[in-house]
Amino acid sequence: MARKWALRSILAYLLLGLFLYVYLFFLADSTLPETYKGSSADPATFMNNKEILLSEDFSKIKNLLFFLSTPYEWLFYFLILIFGVSRVFEKWARGTVKNGFLQTAIFLFWLSISSFVAIFPLQYISYKISKSYHISTQTFSMWMKDEITDFWVNYLLMFIIVSVLYALMKRFKQRWWLAAWALSVPFTIFMMFVQPVLIDPLYNDFYPLKDKALEEQILSLADRADIPADHVFEVDMSEKTNSLNAYVTGVGSNSRIVLWDTTLEKLTDKEILFVMAHEMAHYVEKHIYIGIGIYLVLSFFGLFLTAKLMRGIVANHSDDLKVSKVSNLSSLPLFLMITSMLLFTISPLSNWISRYQETRADRYAIEMTGDKESAISSFQKLSKVGLSQVNPPLLVKIFRYGHPTMLERLSMLEEYEAEKKKE
């Protein structure tokens, strides 16, 4: 039975991969509508022919990898369940130590190592593609260092989460999901608070912005936006990527304004001020707190559904999955598979909300700076340097884009200018 289900699941995954390949490389339409030909949104106005071709090829490959990676994760969890690997990990843990927390640590270590090894080929392919298209500038050793750091950070966080989660499952057999949801609220806020000062520095070096004249202009914008910031931080990303980015991170006293050094190198001061005004808009319009509120609602229903599905699946397929009880550690792959599926299912909604907030931030930035030319040129450079499609296919936009497409962002600026002329 296990072999039959394994073959079926692998075949389903391969058929999905074939469909996605045909869709992305042959059926999906990413051509620019005639209306926008010759406008600021037309790639031909800010890219040469080679760059346009590279952006199309790179985007198709990265989109394919994105759509393959999540179902691949589901396949991995399913296979280690039906072949009894998860149950073996649990037996090893129980046979090694008697302490429950140490059993969790051992079980999670073997599960994490297995997951790392299984997913590593896709991660490596993604790295090599980014490297070949000159997006990534990392050496293999630097990339591996980040991968290993990522492994241990995720392992420690997962150890905390899984230890608490399965303790709740044992204590509250029917309502564990409600207790888990209640505890997730302060934990999420705490993680947002410590992320800038404890986790981010593990990956990159942060230091005060060297250009003090530019820092003064950015802080002046922050003052106008009532953002309590005394410094702007620069992060050394040029050793890892050619991409551009800037952001406002953290909550409360740990809020930080951060610029990648690649952004400082490739954008003018006026373009940087527009980008920073956009990031400040998220603070001004309380998008972080709105995001927390949305998370609370979605996680409430998500955990409820996860508990209901786990209970039903284990009750009806315990022999097939080699899991006798929901509260057994061996059920963790089932929990992770279900939550991953639910997150993927609601990603169109969460991405739509994010795109709406990003559009609001774009509009706020243009109103604050009044500099349409710098806004347009900054978006064009972001698209050019990142080799991103100006008008991605609909399926890609729905599932991948937390920001408006470059076509939408640039056309919004044109429409804004037309509105101002009418006033």
Amino acid letter, 334: L
**Ramachandran angles phi, psi of 221, nearest 5°:** -60, -45
Q: Which band of pLDDT confidence, cut at 50, 70 and 90, is reported for residue 205?
A: confident
* Mean pLDDT across the chain: 91
Strands (E), 227-304: 232-235, 246-249, 256-260
Report the distance separating Cα 378 and Cα 410, nearest Å. Answer: 10
Report the distance separating Cα 12 and Cα 406, nearest Å. Answer: 34
Amino acid letter, 210: K
For range 186-200, the mean pLDDT: 85
For range 47-67, the mean pLDDT: 94
Tokens of 374: 């710098």
Burial class (CB in 10 A: 0-12, 13-18, 19+), 213: exposed
pLDDT at 48 over 80: yes
Residues forming beta bridges with residue 208, ordered by sequence position: 233
Residue-level pLDDT at 252: 65
Q: Name the nearest CA neighbour of 94 among 328, 325, 324.
A: 328
Amino acid letter, 234: E
Residue-level pLDDT at 334: 97
pLDDT at 119 over 70: yes
Residue-level pLDDT at 185: 86
pLDDT at 28 over 70: yes
Per residue in 284-334, pLDDT tens?
A: 888 888 988 898 899 999 999 999 999 999 999 988 899 999 999 999 999
Task: Collapse the DSSP code of 241 into the 3-class scheme (helix H, G, I; strand E, B; otherwise coil) and give the result.
Answer: strand
For range 85-114, the mean pLDDT: 95
Burial class (CB in 10 A: 0-12, 13-18, 19+), 77: buried
- Give the residue with greater pLDDT, 416 vs 54: 54
**Ramachandran angles phi, psi of 233, nearest 5°:** -100, 145
Residue-level pLDDT at 194: 84
Catalytic choice (279, 285, 408, 414): 279
pLDDT at 418 over 70: no
Residue-level pLDDT at 339: 96
Per residue in 243-267, pLDDT tens?
A: 998 887 766 666 778 899 999 999 9
Look up 234 and say whether it is catalytic: no
Residue-level pLDDT at 62: 96
Residues forming beta bridges with residue 256, ordered by sequence position: 249
Distance from first CA to last CA of the chain, Å, rounded? 71
- Give the residue with greater pLDDT, 177 vs 415: 177
Report the distance separating Cα 341 and Cα 318, nearest Å. Answer: 20
For range 214-223, the mean pLDDT: 89
Write the DSSP assignment of 173-215 as a string of letters.
TTTHHHHHHHHHHHHHHHHHHHIIIIIGGGTS-EEE-S-HHHH
Task: Collapse the DSSP code of 397 into the 3-class scheme (helix H, G, I; strand E, B; otherwise coil) and give the result.
Answer: helix
Q: Which band of pLDDT confidence, cut at 50, 70 and 90, is reported for residue 268?
A: very high
pLDDT at 378 over 70: yes
Residue-level pLDDT at 225: 81
